Amino acid sequence: MDGDTIQKELRRNRSTLVVVGLGVIAFGAWSVVKIVLMLLLDPDAFFETLGLTEIVSENAITRAVGFAVPGVFLALDLALRLFIGLRARREGLARKKAGMVYLVLACLLAVFTVWSDVSVLIQTLSAGEGIGASIVTYASKLSGTAGGDIDNAVVAIVVELTSLATMVELIVAAVRVKRFGRLAAAREA
C-alpha cells in the first residue's frame, strides 16, 4: 500500500471516529433522557418492566432505592459512553494521544450489549408468545420501556441496534486508525 493511500485511509477512519464518537455520546444521552422521562411520567410502568413493582411498593425507602439504583447504572453507562466517545473524538482529531483504554471499554460494552440482547431474546422466545407479542415484549425489555404497540416496539429495536452498530463502527475505525497509524509511522521511519 503506498504512502498516499495509507494517509487517505488514516484520514477517512479518523473522520469516522470523530463522528461515531459523537454518536456514542448521543446514544448515551438518549438513554438517560428516555429513562428519566419514564421515571418522571410513568414510574410504575418502568418498575413493572423491570419486575420491581412489589419491591418498590413496600415502603418509601424501597421506592427511593428503586429510583436510585437505575439512576446509578444510568450514570455509569453515560459516564462510560462519554469517556469512550470523547476519547474516540480525541483520537480522530489527532491532537492528543487517546490510549487503548477506551477501545477496550468499547469492546467490553459491545460484548455486554450483545450478550444482554441475546439473553433477552432467548428469554422472550422461550415464553411462547406469538411473534407480534414477542417483538413488543422483547423491545420493552431491551429498552426498559413499557409495552406499547408494535410500531413503538420496532422503533425501539431499531434504536438499540443502531446504538450497537455505532459502537461496533467505533471499534472498527479505532482499530484501523491504529493500524494505518503504525504503517504511516513505519514508512516515515
Question: Interface residues with another protein (CB under 8 A)?
Answer: 7-9, 11-12, 15, 18, 93, 95
Q: Which residue from 35, 19, 38 is spatially nearest to 73, judged by alpha carbons?
A: 35
Minimum distance, C-beta of residue 10 to another protein, in the bound complex (Å): 9
In the complex with another protein, the residue whose CB is nearer, 9 or 77, is 9
Please tell me the number of Cα atoms within 13 Å of 58 on its side-chain side. 9
Minimum distance, C-beta of residue 170 to another protein, in the bound complex (Å): 18
Minimum distance, C-beta of residue 61 to another protein, in the bound complex (Å): 48
In the complex with another protein, the residue whose CB is nearer, 7 or 113, is 7
Contacts 24+ apart (CB under 8 A), 154-161: 159/30, 160/117
What is the rounded CA–CA span in Å between residue 89 and residue 14? 8
In the complex with another protein, the residue whose CB is nearer, 21 or 70, is 21
Minimum distance, C-beta of residue 14 to another protein, in the bound complex (Å): 8
Q: Which residue from 119, 139, 144, 136 is spatially nearest to 35, judged by alpha carbons?
A: 144
Minimum distance, C-beta of residue 88 to another protein, in the bound complex (Å): 14
Rg (CA), the chain: 20
Q: Which residue from 4, 1, 10 is spatially nearest to 181, judged by alpha carbons?
A: 10
In the complex with another protein, the residue whose CB is nearer, 3 or 99, is 3
In the complex with another protein, the residue whose CB is nearer, 95 or 97, is 95
Q: Which residue from 149, 151, 145, 123 is spatially nearest to 44, judged by alpha carbons?
A: 145
